[in-house]
Amino acid sequence: MNKLLSYWVFCNRGFTILPKFQSYFSQLIAGKRKFHVQLLKLNSIIAFMAASVSATAQETNTVEKPKLEVGSEVNLSALSKAVWLKGDSPEVFEPGKVYIIECWATWCTPCIAAIPHVNELYKKYYDQGLRVLGMSVWEDDQKKAKSFVTNKGDGMAYPVAFTGNESDFSRDWLDAAGVDSIPHAFIVRNGILLGSTQVSRLTTSLIESLLSGDAGAQKASGIMSAAQNNQPKTDELVMAIGNADYKGDVDKMVKMTKELKTIDPDHPDLPTLELQILINRRDWPAALKALKLLPDGEAKNSLISKTGRYIIGNIHPYSEEFKKALIGLYSDYVLVEAPLKGASHFSNLSNIQWHMGDKKSAISTANRSIEAAQNSNRNTEASVIAYTRFAETVKEGRMPDRVEISKWLRTAIEKLAKAK
């Protein structure tokens, strides 16, 4: 069976290969599956990409026409068969209520970045009839998903279920709708599928339209359908804009961003793309204003998440005022959602605080990197060892660089592997 299992995730942070069928690789090693793996060939390294072009897997064989389409009747059978980690499956779709069925996974960075936005919508509009059901998909480790949800606490206040890798939910919803990327959301009202969309498109205006009654719900459904139909073209434009950004071709960025805005004026990546144009032009007053006006969501989080690495490595053109504003957003990004941010974010922020002269905060943030390491999804024991050493070194009066931390982590991994 010839399947294209490797795909690129563009999150403003360089490239990461994340398989949709992540467990297939371990099964391949065990000799249980034989797949011909092909890697996408890219013409150039794209340094700036929108987070909404997220964890995507493509198959080289012909895909059957999706069986689940907008307007289809849906039921709760597959949801009721899932393992509910928090809350319970609804027994019925309540009349007039709007349901967001949010698909995510612990290994999916854009999914995790989108959770605060989804949670905010849930809390803000629950009394008006919005319901959110989180569905962990395309992963096998139920304990890891459970631990993630538990640690998230009120930061993931809605009911959450674990479906596994090859589940009834995957078959009846994701596969049937032709969905090959997450985060993804299905929108249901009165037992009818109104939309199948990227989570980043769940704006407050869209939710309010969905909740406003029959006419508003149909209008919102049309907006989601149009965006879905335009997605191949808009994804192509976003990739081309990123490529132009890497090459420093601002004029081309401007031209293609205008084209994107014409095709999809509500595209969630437009604000960050327009901000990047201002940064490339070194128009710092306008860039600072645009930064402050960035709407909350996946794209903003992805842009902010690269701040630590860029500032520590001094690989940025930022003015001092813009840099301070960005550091403020990065600090909130890292600390407010702790401990679910990666330990490296805490070490990056600690480094920034140290070099800004705030050594007390740097020590405190370094200590929190240990907590983050304890909640990491991979090499947990080795990460705790490395970041404990990092925190101790900072407390002793020296700030280790990223190379040194990486060396400690590799050494811990090797020692633990030999011990086994």
What is the reported pLDDT for 315? 76
What is the reported pLDDT for 299? 78
DSSP letter for each residue of 51-95: TTS-SB---SSPPPPPS--TT-B--SHHHHTSEEEES---SS--T
Tell me the average pLDDT across 153-161.
94
Do residues 238 and 268 make contact, with C-beta atoms less than 8 angstroms apart? no
Q: Which CATH class is domain 77-229?
A: alpha beta
Query: Which position has the higher pLDDT, 39 or 389?
Result: 389
- Per-residue pLDDT reduced to its tens digit, 29-38: 333 322 322 3
Residue 90 predicted with pLDDT over 60: yes
Domain 257-419 has CATH 1.25.40: yes
DSSP letter for each residue of 207-249: HHHHTT-HHHHHHHHHHHHHHHHHHHHHHHHHHHHHHHHHHT-
In which band, very low, low, confident or very high, does the pLDDT at 64 lie, cut at 50, 70 and 90? Answer: low
In which band, very low, low, confident or very high, does the pLDDT at 28 lie, cut at 50, 70 and 90? Answer: very low
What is the reported pLDDT for 22? 39
Do residues 129 and 207 make contact, with C-beta atoms less than 8 angstroms apart? no
Rounded Cα gap, residues 164 and 211, in angstroms: 31
- Per-residue pLDDT reduced to its tens digit, 302-328: 788 888 888 887 777 899 999 999 999
Q: What is the mean pLDDT of the chain?
A: 83
What is the reported pLDDT for 223? 93
What is the reported pLDDT for 29? 33
What is the reported pLDDT for 339? 53
In the three-class reduction of DSSP (H, G, I as helix; E, B as strand; rest coil), residue 165 is classed as coil
| Number of neighbours of residue 48 by Cβ within 10 angstroms | 23
What is the reported pLDDT for 416? 92
Tell me the average pLDDT across 86-97.
95
Q: End-to-end alpha-carbon separation of the chain, Å?
A: 35
What is the reported pLDDT for 142? 94
Residue 19 predicted with pLDDT over 90: no
Do residues 133 and 156 make contact, with C-beta atoms less than 8 angstroms apart? no
Domain with CATH 3.40.30.10 in the chain: 77-229
Tell me the average pLDDT across 12-28.
35
- The pTM of the full predicted model, rounded to 2 decimals, is 0.71
Query: Which position has the higher pLDDT, 54 or 154?
Result: 154
Residue 376 predicted with pLDDT over 80: no
What is the reported pLDDT for 303? 84
Rounded Cα gap, residues 46 and 179, in angstroms: 25
- Per-residue pLDDT reduced to its tens digit, 228-263: 899 899 999 999 999 999 999 999 999 999 999 999
In the three-class reduction of DSSP (H, G, I as helix; E, B as strand; rest coil), residue 152 is classed as helix
What is the reported pLDDT for 377? 67
Domain with CATH 1.25.40 in the chain: 257-419
Tell me the average pLDDT across 318-347.
87
Tell me the average pLDDT across 367-396.
91
What is the reported pLDDT for 337? 64
- Per-residue pLDDT reduced to its tens digit, 207-231: 999 999 999 999 999 999 999 899 8
